[in-house]
Chains A and B, each alone.
Chain A
């Protein structure tokens, strides 16, 4: 489960305990929660588009379900499968999207996927310096830090220093490759399988794989 630190990049007061979590379905405020200006703007635009039949009444709710079904567990499943099945790994590295689709992971946003293998010689790191491109169909939504200036500015200029801030030190004889996502292709890092995991089941392997290891900022470790 994601860390719940309070950082949106600016001061932002609200009390989570008062929030009514059913409001998303109801579309109406209740309890003590008062929707802010931008939420009312969102409600207004959505309702107008539905009224004018430009989008269907149920489409937003359905897409929220799609989004909720996309979590790092999907990526972890892909990684674990690649670790145990050499033929799958070959297909994954040749056609990332196609191999994920074999596992039932659809690419609702029609992006491509290239899977980047970390080896003893190469360490991959993924960033989007222009906005926040991220392999959402297979990892879910990105963390705030991935979308904020420090990561997006420095991952391309001093990747090793950025990795060190995550506690990841890459030896000098290992090549660091930074992928800056600018078009329709997204990237998933295939981390190195940790030593000591040789006898682990695929399920146990998947449980080791964290979101951040598939962005490339940390390795996968034995828990």
Chain B
């Protein structure tokens, strides 16, 4: 007998997978944020899906301790993508965790 089909709740499944190419969104919240300005609009790749899904830390900063959990992703961004002055031949990179709502697939 086949296993019963389950339907995942909204936000339960990660949207991105390791290797996906992504861009950090460009928007400028005030108040509290955890996506540094220096990575906004920059392009990189997913290197890890952080489990379990967790609260958006930008809302957590205002007291939200639970609800609408989504995934954080560890992404890699080439230094040459971040800084025009970085030597063009370098393979150095920056790794950072970003909440799902800040990432766009490219």
User: Residues of A at under 8 Å CB distance from B?
Assistant: 112, 114, 129-130, 156-157, 159-160, 175-185
Min CB distance, B101 to chain A, in Å?
Answer: 13
A177–B36 CB distance below 8 A: no
- Contacting A at CB under 8 A, from B53-77, are 54, 57, 72, 74, 76
Instruction: Determine whether B88 belongs to the interface, using a CB cutoff of 8 Å to chain A.
Output: no
Q: What residues on A are CB-neighbors of B91 within 8 Å? A: 175
Q: Is the CB of A177 within 8 A of B72?
A: no
Closest A residue by C-beta to B72: A183
Question: Nearest residue in B to A124 (C-beta to C-beta)?
Answer: B95
Q: How many residues of B contact A (CB 8 A)?
A: 23
Give Cα A177 to B92, complex, Å: 6
Query: Within 8 Å CB of B72, what residues of A?
Result: 183-185
Q: CB distance A177 to B95 under 8 Å? A: yes
Q: A177-B93, A183-B97 are in contact. List 20 more A-B contacts (CB 8 A).
A: A114-B74, A129-B36, A130-B34, A130-B36, A156-B82, A157-B83, A159-B92, A177-B76, A178-B94, A180-B94, A182-B34, A182-B35, A182-B57, A182-B96, A182-B98, A183-B34, A183-B54, A184-B57, A184-B97, A185-B72
